[in-house]
Amino acid sequence: MKRSFKTIGLIAGSIFLMGTASYAQETVKVGGEEMFPQKNIVENAVNSKDHTTLVAAVKAADLVATLQTEGPFTVFAPVNDAFENLPEGTVATLLKPENKKTLSTVLTYHVIAGKYDFDAISGLIKKGKGAADLKTVSGGTLTAQMNGKHNITLTDENGGVANITTYDVYQSNGIIHVIDKVVLPKM
């Protein structure tokens, strides 16, 4: 009898692990393309039609190699429309070689060290009694808050607010959340 319970426990544990492994391998579509969890942030981002401006900026800032390292990183990835909604000429100015340092600061302001999915961020918000300050790789702070029961907003250091529109796009070296605005650090 004791052996039967042990066998049932092993079988149940195996089924659970198989279920979580298949869940971890699920893909999410971003920009019309599948994002594969076994690929890194850059390998997936280059395929998203919604992130061509972000990818061009990452290349111009020489951040490709960094975002291909083991990480883990959490990236808040603005869509092309978010860049287009910046004041006219902003993107062209930032992409100039002489503005590489500023571009790098803006881009790394969209990245936090570690792997923070929806549950982790919402847990920090709950622990912070409604808000969580997220330290960015650039050294700045983004404030995360709940907007309803299942939506998170990010407020930048200038009071700009971005909505996370797609959550939990798992990568081999972190996670991507798609946002609808470019967040900007104090400069």
**Whole-angstrom distance, CA of residue 96 vs CA of residue 22:** 43
Q: What is the pLDDT of residues 76-123, one digit of tens each?
A: 999 999 999 999 999 999 999 999 999 999 999 999 999 999 999 999
**Whole-angstrom distance, CA of residue 83 vs CA of residue 106:** 12
What is each CA distance from 124 to 21, 74, 120, 141, 165, in whole angstroms?
Answer: 26, 14, 6, 14, 19
Domain locations in the chain as residue ranges: 27-179
3-class secondary structure, 145: strand
pLDDT of amino acid 112: 96
In the chain, which ranges are continuous DSSP H helix? 2-24, 41-45, 52-60, 64-67, 80-84, 90-94, 100-108, 118-127
- This prediction has a pTM of 0.82
User: What are the structure tokens assigned to 151, written together?
Assistant: 């939506």
Q: Is the peptide bond before 72 cis (omega within 30 degrees of 0)?
A: yes
Nearby residues of 37 by Cβ (< 8 Å), 6 or more positions away:
24, 25, 26, 27, 170, 171, 172
Q: What is the pLDDT of residues 31-64, one digit of tens each?
A: 666 776 788 788 888 888 888 899 899 999 988 8
Q: What is the CATH number of domain 27-179?
A: 2.30.180.10
Beta bridge partners of 113: 73
